[in-house]
Amino acid sequence: MADNSLLIVDDDAPLRNRLARAMTDRGFEVATAASVAEGIASARSRPPSHAVVDLKLVDGNGLEVVEALREARPDMRIVMLTGYGNIATAVAAVKAGAVDYLAKPADADAITAALRETDRPLPPPPEDPMSADRVRWEHIQRVYEQCGRNVSETARRLKMHRRTLQRILAKYAPRS
């Protein structure tokens, strides 16, 4: 019989518990962890065949868990979940060893498909892709964070006026 062990690492308890029940109903033997430390400990003690890991955890970054999981079991299928989806974190997740990257809220069927799909050359196009304004806003936010939240340095790197950047940063994110 195929190994259907699954580790879910997410610090949002209601989401983690709902997802654990849904994945159990889909035939997985589920274990859960609420932090980077718990996820790494679980990966080392009993490496599962599948994992679902949240990117931002209360005690650190989910990429640390992905790396530990990949070291513990190189053939593991790992899906990264995040509520802060952008291209840079998707690339980092794949480089760390995730096979797919899904934005929250992702339903159990989409997660199951990502965990079980083995010969899909490209993911299907999104039903509701981000708007160009949202992509621009995400890029500006990423550069702003990389510059240590320094407005002047961010404006210089983005080749825009500092006041223009300040106005953009003061606004809410555009809708999808």
56-57 and 29-33 strand pairing: unpaired
Provide mean pLDDT across the span 11-31: 92
Most confident of 51-60, 81-90, 167-176: 51-60
* Residue labelled with tokens 């190189």: 74
pLDDT at 1 > cutoff 60 = no
pTM > 0.85: yes or no: no
**Distance from C-alpha of 96 to C-alpha of 136, rounded to nearest angstrom:** 25
Phi-psi sector, 159: left (phi>0), alpha (psi -120 to 50), beta: left
**Span 95-106, average pLDDT:** 82
What pLDDT, on a 0 to 100 scale, did the predictor assign at position 165? 93
Identify the weakest region by mean pLDDT among 11-15, 72-76, 120-124, 129-133: 120-124
- Looking at the chain, the whole-number percentage of residues with pLDDT higher than 70 is 91
Q: What is the 3-state secondary structure (H, E, C) of the chain?
A: CCCCEEEEECCCHHHHHHHHHHHHHCCCEEEEECCHHHHHHHHHHCCCCEEEEECEECCEEHHHHHHHHHHHCCCCEEEEEECCCCHHHHHHHHHHCCCEEEECCCCHHHHHHHHHCCCCCCCCCCCCCCCHHHHHHHHHHHHHHHCCCCHHHHHHHHCCCHHHHHHHHHCCCCCC
Of 53, 56, 47, 6, the residue nearest 27 (C-alpha): 6
- Residue-wise pLDDT tens digits, 101-125: 888 778 888 889 888 876 655 566 6
Q: Which CATH class is domain 5-116?
A: alpha beta
The stretch 77-84 carries a mean pLDDT of 84
Q: Yes or no: is domain 132-170 CATH 3.40.50?
A: no
* Lowest-confidence pick of 48-52, 70-74, 133-137, 149-153: 133-137
pLDDT in tens, 23-61: 999 999 999 999 999 999 998 898 999 999 998 888 888
pLDDT at 124: 65
CB neighbours (10 Å) of residue 144? 20
Q: How do the domains of the chain map onto residue ranges?
A: 5-116, 132-170
pLDDT at residue 91, rounded to an integer: 80
- Whether 86 shows a pLDDT value over 50: the answer reads yes
- Which residue type, as a one-letter code, is found at position 109? D
CA distance linking residue 138 with residue 43, whole number of Å: 32
Specify the residue for token string 């407005």: 151
Task: State whether the Cα torsion 99-53-5-39 is positive or negative.
Answer: positive
